[in-house]
Structure 1
Amino acid sequence: MMNEFDEHVRLVKDKFRVSEVREHQRNVLEAVYNGKDVFFMAPTGSGKSLSYEIFPILSDLRTGKSDSMVIVVSPLTALIDSQIEKLKACGLCAIHLTSEVESIPPQCKYLFASPETLLTTNRHQLLTPRVQNSLVGFFIDEGHCIIKWGKNDAKTKKAFRGHYARLGEVRSLLPASVPLVVMTATATAAARRDIVKLTGMHNYAEVVLSPNRRNIRYSVVHLPKFDLYAAFKHIIDDIEDNNTSAERVIVYCRKKEHCSDLFELFSTTLGEKGFANGTFGDDRTRMYAMFHSKTQDDVKSSVLKSFSEENGHVRVVFCTVAFGMGIDVKGTYCVVHVGPSNSIEDYLQESGRAGRDGKSQSHAVLITYPRCTSGNVSDEMKDYCKNTDCRRKRLLEPFNFVEDYSDMGHKCCDLCSSSCDCLDCYQCTSSLEKSLRTMLSTESAENIIHHVTPSQKLDMQSKLLDYRNTLVDERTLFHGIDISTGFTRALIHDVVKNVGIVSGPDILKEKFNFICQEHVIETWNILCEILENDSLSDSESVGSSSDSDTETITKHFRRRPLILSSDSE
Structure 2
Amino acid sequence: MAASVKLSETDIFQAKEHACSRLGLNALKKQQSEALDAYLRGHDVFICLPTGFGKSVVFQAVPMCWDFLNGNNVAADDSNIPKSLAIVVVPLKSLAMNQLERCQAIGLEAAIAIAEISDEVLECAGQGKYSVLFASPEALLSVKGTELLQLQSVYSRVCGLFIDESHCVTKWGQSAGKTAAFRKLYGNIGQLRSRLQMDTPLIAMTATASSTVRKAVADSLSLKNVFLIHTSPILHNMKHTVLKTKSIRSKDVLGWLCLKISEKGVNTERVIVYCQSRKTCSELYSMFKCHVPADGHAYFNMYHTNTQPEVQEDILKSFSDPNGTVRVLFATIAFGLGVDIKGLHHVIMYGSPTDIDDYVQLSGRAGRDGQQSYSILVKYPSASGVPIKEEMKSFLNTDSCRRDIIHTAFPGQHQTAPFNKAHNCCDNCARTCSCEGDHCASPTNFVEQSIKDGLYSGPKGSEVLLRDVPNEVQDKIREELLQFQSQVKGTSSAEQQDDHIYAGQDIVCGLSSATINQIVSELTMAFTFTQFCERWQFPNHEIAQGIWEICNKFCSQMPVKMPDVLCDSSSSDSESDEDEVSDEYRELVIVYSDSD
If the length of structure 1 is used for normalisation, what is the TM-score?
0.71
Superposed, 1:469-508 pairs within 5 Å as none
Separation (CA, whole Å) in 1 of partners of 2:414 and 2:103: 37
1:303-342 → structure 2 map (5 Å cutoff): 303-342=315-354
Residue 87 of structure 1 is matched in structure 2 by 103
User: In structure 1, what residue type is equivalent to 2:165?
Assistant: E
Quick one: structure 1 residues 225 and 113, their matched pair in 2 at CA, closer, same or farther if it must change by over 3 Å? same
Pair 367,353 (structure 1): closer, same or farther in 2 beyond 3 Å: same
Q: State which of 400, 404, 409 in structure 2 corresponds to 1:393.
A: 404
Superposition map of 1:202-241 within 5 A: 202-241=224-263
Q: Which residue of 2 aligns with 1:349?
A: 361
Give, in angstroms, the shift of residue 8 of structure 1: 3.9
Q: Which structure is higher in RCO with an 8 Å CA cutoff and minimum separation 6?
A: 2
Q: Distance in 2 between matches of 1:107 and 1:246?
A: 47
Larger radius of gyration: 1
Aligned to 1:417: 430
User: Which residue is 2:123 aligned to?
Assistant: 103
Pick aligned residue for 1:437 from 423, 444, 452 = 452
Measure the CA separation in 2 of the matches of 1:20 and 1:236.
Answer: 46
Shift of residue 425, structure 1, vs aligned partner:
5.8
The 3 A distance-change label for structure 1 pair 16 and 438 is same
2:59 matched to 1:59? no
Whether the aligned pair in 1 keeps the contact of 2:160 and 2:202 (CA below 8 Å) is yes
Q: Secondary structure at the match of 2:347?
A: strand
Q: What residue number does 1:24 align with? A: 31
Tell me the distance in 1 between the aligned counterparts of 2:90 and 2:365: 18
Secondary structure, counterpart of 2:124 in structure 1: coil
Aligned to 1:37: 44
Match of 1:116 in 2: 138
Which runs of no fewer than 5 residues in structure 1 stay unpaired?
Answer: 276-285, 447-569
Q: Does 1:364 align with 2:364?
A: no
Q: Which amino acid aligns with 2:117?
A: S
Alpha-carbon displacement from aligned partner over 1:114-170 (angstroms, at most 9, x marks no partner): 1111001422101213321222111001111111111112123x2111111111111
| Residues in 2 aligned to 1:443 and 1:110: alpha-carbon distance in whole angstroms | 55
Shift of 1:327: 1.7
| 1:541 corresponding residue in structure 2 | none
Whether 1:266 aligns to 2:292 is no
* 1:418 counterpart letter in structure 2: R
Seen in structure 2, the aligned counterparts of structure 1 residues 99 and 4 have a Cα distance that, compared at 3 Å, is closer
Q: Which moved more, 1:329-338 or 1:226-235?
A: 226-235
CA–CA distance in 2 between the matches of 1:36 and 1:215? Answer: 34
| AA matched with 1:167 | I
Deviation, structure 1 residue 403: 5.5
Aligned to 1:523: none
> What letter matches 1:400 in structure 2?
P
Structure-2 change in CA distance of 1:99 and 1:13 (3 Å): closer
- Root mean square deviation of aligned Cα: 2.5
1:519-556 Cα shifts (integer Å, max 9, x gaps): xxxxxxxxxxxxxxxxxxxxxxxxxxxxxxxxxxxxxx
Matching residue of 2:213: 191
* Amino acid corresponding to residue 301 of structure 1 in structure 2: E
Q: Indicate the SS of the match to 2:193.
A: helix
Going from structure 1 to structure 2, the CA distance change for 1:107 and 1:312 (only over 3 Å counts) comes to: farther
Q: Which residue of 1 aligns with 2:474?
A: none
Structure 2 residue identity aligned to 1:23:
K
- Selected match of 1:302 from 314, 318, 323: 314
TM-score norm. by structure 2 comes to: 0.68
Give the Å deviation of 1:194: 2.5
Contact 2:18–2:64 (Cα < 8 Å) also in 1 = no
Question: Are 2:165 and 1:142 equivalent residues in the alignment?
Answer: yes
1:466-518 deviations in Å (ceiling 9; x for gaps):
xxxxxxxxxxxxxxxxxxxxxxxxxxxxxxxxxxxxxxxxxxxxxxxxxxxxx
1:224 to partner: Cα distance? 4.2
Relative to structure 1, is the Cα distance of residues 179 and 367 closer, same or farther in structure 2, using a 3 angstrom cutoff? same
Cα-to-partner distance string for 1:355-402 (whole Å, 9 max, x where unaligned) = 234x22222111112454664321221221121111111123223337
For residues 426 and 220 of structure 1, the distance between their equivalents in structure 2, rounded to whole angstroms, comes to 21
Correspondence for 1:458: none
> Does the aligned pair in 2 maintain the 1:189–1:400 contact within 8 Å?
yes
Tell me, in whole angstroms, the C-alpha distance in 2 between the residues paired with 1:53 and 1:374.
40
Q: Distance in 2 between matches of 1:380 and 1:313?
A: 37
Q: 1:72 to 1:402 in 2, by over 3 A?
A: closer
- Change beyond 3 A, Cα 1:425–1:232: farther
**One-letter amino acid matched to 2:324:** G
Equivalent pair of 1:44/1:349 in contact (CA under 8 Å): no
Cα distance change on mapping 1:374 and 1:422 into 2, 3 Å: farther
1:543 is matched with: none
Contact 2:435–2:441, Cα closer than 8 Å, also in 1: no
Q: Deviations over 1:421-469 (max 9, x none)?
A: 11596657542102123345645999xxxxxxxxxxxxxxxxxxxxxxx
The partner residue of 1:383 within 394, 405, 418 is 394
Write the distance in 2 (CA, Å) between the matches of 1:129 and 1:390. Answer: 57
**Secondary structure of the structure 2 residue equivalent to 1:266:** helix
Tell me, in whole angstroms, the C-alpha distance in 2 between the residues paired with 1:187 and 1:83.
Answer: 21
Query: Alignment partner of 1:300: what SS?
Result: helix
Aligned residues: 433
Q: Distance in 2 between matches of 1:290 and 1:312?
A: 15
- Separation in 1, partners of 2:192, 2:290: 49
Instruction: Quote the sequence identity (%).
Output: 34
**Shift in alpha-carbon separation, 1:442–1:20, aligned structure 2, 3 A:** farther
1:413–1:426 Cα change, 3 Å: farther
Structure 1 residue identity aligned to 2:99: Q
Q: SS at the partner of 1:259?
A: helix
Aligned AA (1:332): L
1:272 is displaced (CA, Å) by 1.8
Q: Retained in 1: the 8 A contact 2:301–2:326? A: yes
- From the superposition, tell whether residues 241 and 91 of structure 1 become closer, same or farther in structure 2 (CA, over 3 Å): farther
